[in-house]
Amino acid sequence: MKFFLITFLLVTFISTKAYSHSGGTNSDGCHAGSKPYHCHNGGSSGNESLDFSGWDFNLGYQYHIDETPFIPYAGLSVGKYNDHEDTSIGIDFGLKHQDGWYAGFVSTSKSVQLGYRFVHFSANSDSIGIGVKFTFGGSDFKNQSSIYSSGTVFFAGDE
């Protein structure tokens, strides 16, 4: 569990902007003399890449409904959807099955989540993301009512 938590924190707090580079661009916003050849500001080099576009962190409660396989969950969300918006507060809610599958919605990133046990994939109109979800309260996480936390990092294609 510590491995997953440390990995999540590293991915969340290390921005891909830290790996940016300096260098001149031509009139199309492309690095004409650098390899690999790539563009900024709407230019196109044919080498598309994924850029960090947002994040969300969620904390809530999941309640296992007795005599059913369903575990609805709801919580608060903090996140940033893209570079043009401030960090916002919203909600996170969904439905989990006791086998470990779950689907939900996060309002701060305007995304839909589909996951299994600890890992989920998220998508919204502009980007895709990957995240983790942890529950606190016993070794059999999938059948208990408990507090949970989750987080996602989003990446958008460089156009």
Per DSSP, the residues of 7-55 read HHHHHHHS-GGGG-------TTSB-SSSSS--B-TT---S---EEEEEE
Q: Which domain holds residue 116?
A: 2-14+51-157
pTM above 0.75, yes or no: no
Q: What is the pLDDT of residue 86?
A: 83
Portion of the chain with pLDDT greater than 90, in percent? 40
54 pLDDT more than 60:
yes
Q: What is the pLDDT of residue 114?
A: 97
28 pLDDT more than 90:
no
Burial zone of 9 (CB within 10 Å; 0-12 exposed, 13-18 middle, 19+ buried): exposed
Q: What is the pLDDT of residue 31?
A: 63
Rounded Cα gap, residues 134 and 76, in angstroms:
15
Does any domain span residue 23?
Answer: no
The number of domains in the chain is 1
Closest listed residue to residue 96, CA positions, set 78, 121, 114, 75: 114
- HSE, side-chain direction, 13 A CA sphere, residue 69: 6
Does any domain span residue 81?
Answer: yes
Does any domain span residue 122?
Answer: yes
Does any domain span residue 145?
Answer: yes
Rounded Cα gap, residues 91 and 112, in angstroms:
12
Average pLDDT of the residues in 109-129: 92
Q: What is the pLDDT of residue 153?
A: 94
Does any domain span residue 107?
Answer: yes
Tokens of 151: 């987080």
118 pLDDT more than 50:
yes
Average pLDDT of the residues in 89-98: 94
Q: What is the pLDDT of residue 48?
A: 57
136 pLDDT more than 80:
yes
Q: What is the pLDDT of residue 47?
A: 54
Does any domain span residue 40?
Answer: no
Portion of the chain with pLDDT greater than 70, in percent? 60
144 pLDDT more than 90:
no
Average pLDDT of the residues in 40-45: 54
